[in-house]
Structure 1
Amino acid sequence: MAYTIEKREKGYLLFTITRSEKRNAINYEVMDGLREAVKRAAESDIKALIITGEGSQAFCSGGDLSVFHNLHTKEEAYPMLSMMANILYSLLTLPIPTIALINGTVIGGGCELAAACDFRLARKGIKAGFIQGKQAITTGWGGGTILAEKLSASDAMQLLMEAELKEAEDLKKLGFFNDLFETDSLQACEAFMEKMLAIDGSVLQSYKKVWIRKWEQSLLSERIEEEVQNCSRLWESDAHHRYVKTFVSKKTLNKE
């Protein structure tokens, strides 16, 4: 299995990507797992959903290009991009608190996954970045549109347009990371959630719906769809195909 889903005694659901050998990159199986986690997190006895990655090297390195490298045209790329965008929108609008527990480096689509969560806790010293621009594409799972809801316009634009890895401390100053930790990641997350988990679940859901209504009224879903369409067009560009070819070649050489 590429993931695990656990219901914990304190009333939250823990989703873990278990592909540490692939830096917890997202493939179709992980997408299925995220969809299942969102479905189970909607059950009445779940008060929060935590998403993390296996090990300490990476939270999530984005989409697994060794899987998606055979997608060449916009018509081939669109279904994959749209599928993940729909998953992230359902995660964003899940009517309970959601937390990205960032145990290691997070790049590309991994940052989009983190952005879709309500809170982001990161280990001190890690780096993160929306590096899609260096792959000659944009965010394609809705992450850019979601980031624009979470940060100021100038900060969000800078993160997206520079396409650089940033230090965790700098991202906390921008407000992308809510808190940093040094101790055991799950213990740190439970400490962060302690006061929320003590509140009645119906109260948490009522507050979350304040933001869900805002996103629905601002046509966030339609804006995410435009992002997906834009990325699918860039996906078939020669520049992106050159990047993917180079990436896959390096992976092949490393295996030999």
Structure 2
Amino acid sequence: MNYENILSEYSNGITTITINRPKKLNALNKDTIQELHDAFEDADTDANTKVIIITGSGEKAFVAGADISEFADFSVEEGGKLAAQGQALLFDFVESLSTPVIAAVNGFALGGGLELAMACHFRVASSNAKMGLPETSLGVIPGYGGTQRLPQLVGKGRAMEMVMTAGMIDANQALNYGLVNHVVELEELLPLAEKIASKIMRNSSVAISKAIKAINANYKDGKDGYKVEIKQFGKCFGTEDFVEGTTAFLEKRKADFPGK
């Protein structure tokens, strides 16, 4: 599929999605959010794709925020609809994908950019990365899940401070907070993400998809994460991957998972 605002490339089990609006510091507008949804959906339904990596073009920004010009004159109703549609179309969608998603954060990840990174299953960052939710400086609050996912990742107090001050933290502080898993120099960022992806691909993609459901359930209101874990654990016993994994272990050989 041809896109105007993003690039999507497949290689050796990995689909890399690159937000490609460098003149706008890869800011998210309506069209880009739709294209990202389509690209993620295509990658998730592609049996050959075992891991998805999302990053930004250039060296300055992952995503520098939302395109404010699109909603500066919105009404209360339009603002609420913007948040609801965006969360459903992209942010909640990414979080719930069965394919692992790694955010490779290069440069600024602000506002909707940080919210997109937090919706991914985990994050790695370049040493020049800077992250924040500056929405309160514009008279609004994060609307794409930021007030929910940030405290889940860094704790309530740190999230309150970041949102209230509208300030940025650097990559090392993000690492200390637990917001990102690893920090490397910019030129090492994608190779690191690909290295982690290769480790993921050694394991059962079916089991990983069930683990994502179980882990996410712990953060959903009205969900009993333990019950979801039990259910997903049980389902694993009916998969070809389980048969292959246990057989390989007993035969003392490397498993060759069929992904079924």
The normalised TM-score by structure 2 is 0.78
Give per-residue Cα distances to partners, 1:176-205, cap 9 Å, x unaligned: 011111134321211232311221211211
Q: Which amino acid aligns with 1:110?
A: G
**Match for residue 95 of structure 2 among 82, 86, 92:** 92
Quote the residue 1:142 is aligned against.
145
Task: Mark the structure with the bigger radius of gyration.
Answer: 2
Query: Displacement of 1:60 after TM fit?
Result: 0.3
Quote the residue 2:208 is aligned against.
204
Quote the residue 1:191 is aligned against.
195
Contact 2:51 2:99 in 1 (8 A): yes
Q: Which amino acid aligns with 2:107?
A: G
Contact 2:14 2:197 in 1 (8 A): no
Contact 1:92 1:117 in 2 (8 A): yes
Q: Does 1:59 align with 2:82?
A: no
Q: Which amino acid aligns with 1:154?
A: G
Percent identical: 28
CA distance in 1, matches of 2:121, 2:161: 21
Q: Which moved more, 1:117-126 or 1:40-49?
A: 40-49
> Match of 2:174, SS?
helix
Q: Could you say which structure has the greater relative contact order, defined with CA pairs below 8 angstroms and 6 or more residues apart?
A: 1
Gap runs ≥5 in structure 2: 224-260
CA distance in 1, matches of 2:146, 2:8: 23
Q: Write the mapping of 1:32-181 to structure 2, written as runs, cut at 5 A.
A: 32-43=34-45, 44-69=47-72, 71-86=73-88, 87-181=90-184
Contact 1:134 1:163 in 2 (8 A): yes
Query: Displacement of 1:216 after TM fit?
Result: 4.2
Count of aligned pairs between the two proteins: 217
Give per-residue Cα distances to partners, 1:15-55, cap 9 Å, x unaligned: 11110000000111111112112312322332222111110
> Match of 1:39, SS?
helix
Q: Which amino acid aligns with 1:214?
A: N
Contact 2:15 2:43 in 1 (8 A): yes
> Match of 1:42, SS?
helix
Contact 1:112 1:144 in 2 (8 A): no
Gap runs ≥5 in structure 1: 220-256
CA distance in 2, matches of 1:180, 1:90: 26
> Match of 2:218, SS?
helix
Q: Structure 1 217/132 Cα, relative in aligned 2: closer, same or farther at 3 Å?
A: closer
CA distance in 2, matches of 1:218, 1:94: 20
Query: Displacement of 1:217 after TM fit?
Result: 4.9
CA distance in 1, matches of 2:52, 2:15: 5
Q: Which amino acid aligns with 1:196?
A: I
CA distance in 1, matches of 2:9, 2:144: 25
Q: Which amino acid aligns with 1:116?
A: A
Q: Which moved more, 1:166-175 or 1:197-206?
A: 197-206
Q: Structure 1 217/74 Cα, relative in aligned 2: closer, same or farther at 3 Å?
A: closer
Query: Displacement of 1:145 after TM fit?
Result: 1.0
Give per-residue Cα distances to partners, 1:90-130, cap 9 Å, x unaligned: 11111222111111111111111111111111110321111
